[in-house]
Structure 1
C-alpha cells in the first residue's frame, strides 16, 4: 500500500520563501549558503569596503566589472539585409559587435527565453586572449575599435602571464558577460562553457557566484586530440573541459542520448527468451540491507550467498518471484552465481550522458579545422583558426539540452567562426528540428586581410552561407520547412541622439546644444528599418518578430506581430495616418516624438483618442 503524502503541520515559512526568491534574483549576494550583506550592497550598486576577510572569489577590478553590468547600453542593432540570408523569413540571428553591449541590448527582448547557451571564450593562454584594453566607456570604445567613429582607435592587448593582472583581466572580461547571460536563460535553461586548465578553477568559482553553487551540474572532459604531443614539456594535454550550470538545478534535466548499435550489441538472448535480448546484471551490492543475507540454490543444486561485505538487492520472497518469472540467469548449465536478466525492451530508450567524451564520439580539433576548410577558402594559412570546435561536439550538447520540436533558442556570444550556428543547422537537418541560434562575435581583424575575409565575422558569415548553399543544392523538398537563413545585425550607436547629462551640466552653452539635439533627436543617416528594429529592441520584442509594411493614408507603417503593434517611423505624421491606424484596432501604436514637432494639439488629441479605442500610444 502506497503511503499518502503527509500534510505539513507548520505554517508557511515566509522567510525561507523570501530567501529563495532573493537567491534566484541575486545569487552573487550569497556566500556558503547565507547572505553576504556587503556583496548584496555591491550588487545593488552601493560602494562597499571588501577589505575584511570572507569566503569568495575576488580580484583586482571586480567592482569595475560589476559597474559595467549596471551601466545601460545606449547602442542599437541595425539590420544589414544585403548580408543576410532569407532576412524576411528566418529566425536565426548573427550579430557583429562587442558581446557585452549586445547582451545588454538583448535583455528586454530575450529575458528568460534562451534554452541553451554554449560559449567557447578566450582561454587566457597568453596569446589567444585579445580584447580591447578598456571597455569602461562601453559603446564609444567599440565604435572606435570597429571604425564606426573618428579617433585614433583603441589598443588591442595580449593578456600575457608577464602582466601582473593576467587572471584578473580575464575575470573582468568574463564576469559581466556571464552575469547578463544568466538573465537570458529560461528557468529550465542551461549553459555549457568550454575551458582549459588555465582558468577552469576560476571559472568554477565565478559561476558559483553568478549561477549559485547549487546549480552546478557537471564538468565534462572532452578528449580533443587523437594522438599525444611529443613536444610537450611535461604532459601532452589531450583534453579540455566543458563546465555545465543550470539556471535552476532542481528543474533542469539532460535528455537521454540516442542508443547506439554498440550499446544495443551488449544485449543477447542465449536462452531464446520470448521477451527478447537481455544482459546479466549483478544481484548484489555493498550497501547494507538487513534482509539481504540469505542462501539460494541453483537448478544444478549449488548453493550461493553474497560474498563478505555484499548483500542481495532484493528480499528472499522477491528473489523467488523473479526466478519463477525466468528473470534469474543461472548460467548455461544452471550452476552459476545468479544474475538478474535486464531486457533491452525494458531499459530506458536512451543512454544517460557520461562526463567523459571521447573524440571518436564527438570529434577532435583536427576534424574541426578540416570542417572549417570545407566551407571557407583561405588565401593565407595564417588566417586559419586553430581553436575551432567540431560541430559534432556541439551537436552532442544540443541533443542533451534541446528538443527538435520546441523552437528552442541557442545562444553563443563568443561565436568565433560560427561552429554553434553550423551545428544547429546540421542538427535541425538530421532530426527535422526547429531550433534557432543567436550568435554574437566581435569583428576581430585577421592576421592578414584578404579580399573577402578581413575579420573573424567574415569567416563566420562565409561559413554559414556556404553551408546553407550546399544544403540547398540537395533540393530536399521534404525538408522545405527547415530554417535556411540568418538575419545579420551590426552593433552601432542609437538612431536617436542621446541626452548627455554630464555635458549638459557643464555650462549653459552645452545645455543649449543638448536642448537643440533633444528637439530633433533623430540621426539623419539612419533608415526606417534601422529605426524599426531599435524600437522593437527597446519595446522588448524579439528581432525575429513578424513584420510587414502597410500603407496608412499614404504613409508607411510597420505592422508587427500580426497587427498587434503598429510602428510609424515617419518624421512628420498627419491626422489621417493616425486615424487609419486606429481603425486597424491594434493593441499598441508607437510613433516618433519628432513627428509631432510643432503639433502639440494633434499629439494631445491623439493620446485621448487612442485611449478611447483602448490602444496604448507611445512615442520614442
Structure 2
C-alpha cells in the first residue's frame, strides 16, 4: 500500500476556487495561453437575468495559439529534401515517394511541385487521447536550434511532446498542430480531390470545426462511423465504444468525384441469368415497393404495358388504357390496389429492350421486370457506417504478422480494409491519381495502393510522409533493429511489394500463363529526407556576414551535398514533381541528369564551356541548370547562355 506524501507547500487557494467554479459552471471553463481559465464574461452572464455586455458574440472557433498556427502555415521554409538512394527501391524509375521528416515542413516544400495535383489524402493523425504526442511547432529559435529541425528529434529540440489530459492546453495544442497542416494540405488537392481523416471521440468535434473553416462547411461529403471494434472497448466506463470516425471533405463539392465499392460475392451471385450474348444479369421487379408505392403518390409513374400474349414481347407502353387483344400489365400492390412503377414513362419507353414480362404464380398476376446487368453496374455507394469485417482493428496487426513482423512491432496499425475502402471511394478506376498520407505510421497506405494496383482496380502512386520518431529502446521494434518509425515503414513497403509479386507469380503459374507472365507494376519508392538547404547560409542571409567572412564562401553550395541532392532541390524549386523519371548520361565528359526526358537537364560538374553547350543544344531541353561556379570562366558563362539562346531558343537556363 502506497503512503500519501505531504505536499510541503501552502494551499493553492486560486486553484481550489477554480475547481469549485468549474464544478458549478463547466461551460465557463476555457483555455488561455497560460492554461485552463474561467471565462468571466460568460460567468457574469450565468449569474444574471439580464444580458451582460461583453465581447461581441460571433460563431467561430477560437483557441489560444490560433493566430500563431495561421502564421506557422504561411511562414516560408528554406529546407529541402535529400534523396536516400540506399534505402530506395528502383529510385530512377518509380513514381512512389517516401519522405522522412516533419510533415509541416514537407507540406510547405511540396506546395509548388504538387499544388492541385493530389487526388486523395488520407491521414490518421494523433487522436489526442492524453497518452499520445502532438507536434509542437516552434519557429522562434536561433540559427543553431533551427539546424536540428531537419525532421529529426533529440533531447535538445523536440518536435513531439506529450499532451496529457491534465494539460491546460490539451485541446489547444492539438488544434494548433492540425490547423496549419490541413491548411497546406488543402492546397495540394485537385479540384475534384477529397481528404479522409480518421479520428475518435476525443477530437472529432474539434476536427469538424477546423475542417469546416479550412475546407468550408459546404464541402463536407460525410462522416463515416467506422466500426473497428464490434464488441466495444471493455475498459470504457459507461458505453463500450465500438467505432471511430472518418471525416470526408472535398476541395470543391461542386467538382468532387468519388467512387465506391465493387459488388461483393454475395451480390454477384444474384446475377444468375445469362442473355444470348453471354452477359450476366438479374431480374428486378419494376413495380415500386416500400414507401410512396401507391398510384396516388406518383400518378405520373402509373402507366400501361402491352405485350404479345404468345411471345411475351412488349409491344407498347401507354399512359392511356387501350382496347386490344394484347396482354395488359399494370403495377398492382399486394392488397390489389393500384401501385406505381420505379421508372418514369419516358425511361420505360426508351429502354424496352431491358425489360421482360413474367407471370408471378404466387401473386397470380403478370409483372414487368428489369434486366439489371452485372457489366456496367455502378459501384456500391459508401454508406455512413462501415460494419465490414475487414475494417476491424485486429486485422491491422494480423496483416503486419503476415509480412513477417512481430505483432508488437507497431502499435495499432490501420487495417488494410479501412485503407483500401477510403482509396476506393476517393479515387476513380483507370484515372491516374496520387494518394498522399502525411501521418503515414507503418506505411499501410503504400501497402493498400500496391494491392489495388495489383488487382487492376486503380492506377495509383503514393507520397508518404513520416517523422522519424525514435522507437522505445525497450520495444520489440528497437530490439530487432528498427531505431525509428520510418525504418518500420520502409521495410513494410518492401515486404508488401515482395508478397504481392509472389502472389501474382503463383497465380500465373496456377493458370498456366507463367511463360508469358510480365509484371509491369511499380513496386519501387524513392526515399527523401528533410534537411536544411543545400545552399550556404550566406545565400539566404548575406546581411548577417561581413565582407571578410564572405570570402570563405567561394562556393555557395555546402561541401557535403551531392549532385542528387542538388537535383532534388532544383526540381522542387522549379515546380517539377519528384516522381518524374530520372535518367543519367554523359555528354562531353560531363554527368547530365535528364528529368522526364527533356523537361529538365541538370549538370553540376565544373568546366562547362561552349563545346558542351553546343552538344546540349542538340537535344533542346525545356530547362537546364548549372552551378553558378561551374563554368570554365566568366566568358564561358556568357557564351553558353548566348549559344543556348541561339541554338535552342525554347530552353530556359538557370544557375544555382
- Post-superposition Cα deviations, 1:557-592, rounded to whole Å, max 9, x if no partner, equal 212221342211124433332332223322222111
- TM-score under structure 2 length normalisation: 0.75
Equivalence for 2:488: 459
Q: Residue 9 of structure 1 aligns with which residue?
A: none
Larger Rg: 2
Q: Is the 8 A contact 1:120 1:414 kept in 2?
A: yes
Q: Determine the C-alpha separation between the residues in 1 that align with 2:66 and 2:497.
A: 42
Determine the C-alpha separation between the residues in 2 that align with 1:482 and 1:612: 42
SS at match of 2:614: helix
Contact residue 151 and residue 531 of structure 2 kept, 8 A:
no
**How big is the shift at 1:205?**
1.5
Note the alpha carbon deviations across 1:318-341, whole angstroms, 9 max, x for none.
9999999986888534368x9874
Distance 1:471 1:62, change over 3 A: same
Q: Specify whether residues 216 and 518 from structure 1 end up closer, same or farther in structure 2 by C-alpha distance, changes over 3 A only.
A: farther
* 1:546 corresponds to 2:575: no
Answer whether contact 1:93 1:439 (CA < 8 A) is retained: yes
Partner of 1:438: 463
Give 1:212's aligned residue.
216
Say if 2:287 is the partner of 1:278: no
Match of 2:189 in 1: 185
Q: Who is 2:524 aligned against?
A: 485
Does 1:421 find its partner at 2:427? no
CA distance in 2, matches of 1:534, 1:316: 62
The 5 A counterparts of 1:192-341 are 192-265=196-269, 277-280=282-285, 282-283=288-289, 285-286=291-292, 289=297, 291=299, 304-305=336-337, 332-334=361-363, 341=369
Q: Among 400, 405, 428, which residue is 1:377 paired with? A: 405
> 1:495 aligned to 2:534?
yes
What is the Cα deviation at residue 606 of structure 1? 2.8
Whether contact under 8 Å (2:302, 2:331) holds in the other structure is no
Does 2:592 align with 1:587?
Answer: no
| 1:121 match: secondary structure | coil
Are the equivalent residues in 1 in contact too, given 2:270–2:282 (CA < 8 A)? no
SS of the counterpart of 2:229?
A: coil
Q: Alignment length, in residue pairs? A: 553
2:654 corresponds to: 618
Correspondence for 1:6: none
Distance 1:135 1:160, change over 3 A: farther
1:575 to 610, 616, 627: 610
Q: Distance in 1 between matches of 2:638 and 2:127?
A: 56
Q: CA 1:395/1:143 → structure 2, altered by over 3 Å: closer, same or farther?
A: farther
1: distance between equivalents of 2:230 and 2:77? Answer: 44
Partner secondary structure for residue 103 of structure 1: helix
- Cα RMSD after superposing both structures: 3.7
C-alpha contact 1:415 1:441 (8 A) present in aligned 2 = yes
Match of 2:97 in 1: 93
Distance 1:473 1:276 in 2: 35
Q: How does 1:102-117 map to 2 (within 5 A)?
A: 102-117=106-121
User: Unpaired runs of 5+ in structure 2?
Assistant: 1-54, 274-278, 305-328, 506-513
What is the DSSP-based 3-state SS (H/G/I as helix, E as strand, rest coil) of the residue aligned with 2:479?
coil
Partner of 1:42: none
Deviations 1:261-316 (A, max 9, x none): 323456788xxxx996324453464498573799999899997447xxx9887899
Query: In the TM superposition, what whole-angstrom CA distance separates every residue of 1:33-92 from its partner, at most 9, and x where no partner exists?
Result: xxxxxxxxxxxxxxxxxx754322221111111111211111111111111112122111
Instruction: State the Cα distance separating 1:524 from its structure 2 match.
Output: 0.4
